[in-house]
Amino acid sequence: MRAERSHRDDLGGGVPRPRSPQPRSRSAERGGHDEWSYEQPDPRAPRNPRPAPGARDGQRAPRRAAPPQRGIRGALGVLGAFLVTLAGAAADSYVGVGLGLITTVALVGSVAVATLLVRRRDLATMVVAPPLVFVGVAVANIVLAPSATFSLPTVATLLIRGFPAMAIAVAAALVLTVVRLVARR
């Protein structure tokens, strides 16, 4: 009768074992540990044998939850700025032709408020958002306006005329970001 062999034996066994009880490496001769010896501590084991503060005998200390982030997400701030600026552009189109002062005030005001409300780690989002918000509003204005045609000259004209609004909004977001970062320290 044949002796049954396990699948583990077919694969060469589980843990590699040294061939001789004497270590062969130079580090072992100098007093170090051989890489195959069983005396080494488990690399996954914690290096600090002391219990964590607040831990009882043999128990782990309860984990503290991360402090909650104050403020809204950056994407929500950008969406709010887009919707307020879109409402300002609608009012501007109703009163006059194109995007003007009402759109500029709506863009700068909504970006400033959103910069004050977003989480600290999302401040960079609000600094780069005003040109993107303005481009989105300009495209929506061209598509929804019955008298405008969606062409490259029309988009270029709106972006050139809207550059001061974008620059003022980026400057306002940048100033408020710096104030928030300095005030936090």
Residue 123 lies in a domain: yes
Residue 41 lies in a domain: no
Number of structural domains, the chain? Answer: 1
Residue 86 lies in a domain: yes
Mean pLDDT within 131-144: 90
pLDDT in tens, 40-79: 666 676 666 565 565 565 566 566 666 667 888 999 999 9
More reliable by pLDDT, 40 or 156: 156
Please give the backbone phi and psi of residue 72, each rounded to the nearest 5 degrees, phi first. -100, 165
Residue 66 lies in a domain: no
Closest to 126 (Cα-Cα) out of 72, 177, 70, 183: 177
How confident is the model at residue 133, as a pLDDT? 95
DSSP calls for 102-143: HHHHHHHHHHHHHHHHB-GGGHHHHHHHHHHHHHHHHHHHHH
Residue 147 lies in a domain: yes
Residue 139 lies in a domain: yes
Task: Tell me the residue range of the domain where 98 lies.
Answer: 74-184
Q: Which amino acid is at 75?
A: A
How confident is the model at residue 98, as a pLDDT? 74
How confident is the model at residue 81, as a pLDDT? 96
Record the tokens describing residue 37, joined without a space. 């010896």
Please give the share of the chain, as a percent, with pLDDT higher than 70: 63
Read off the DSSP letter of residue 56. Answer: -
CA distance 45 to 57: 18
CA distance 165 to 163: 5
| pTM given for the model | 0.61
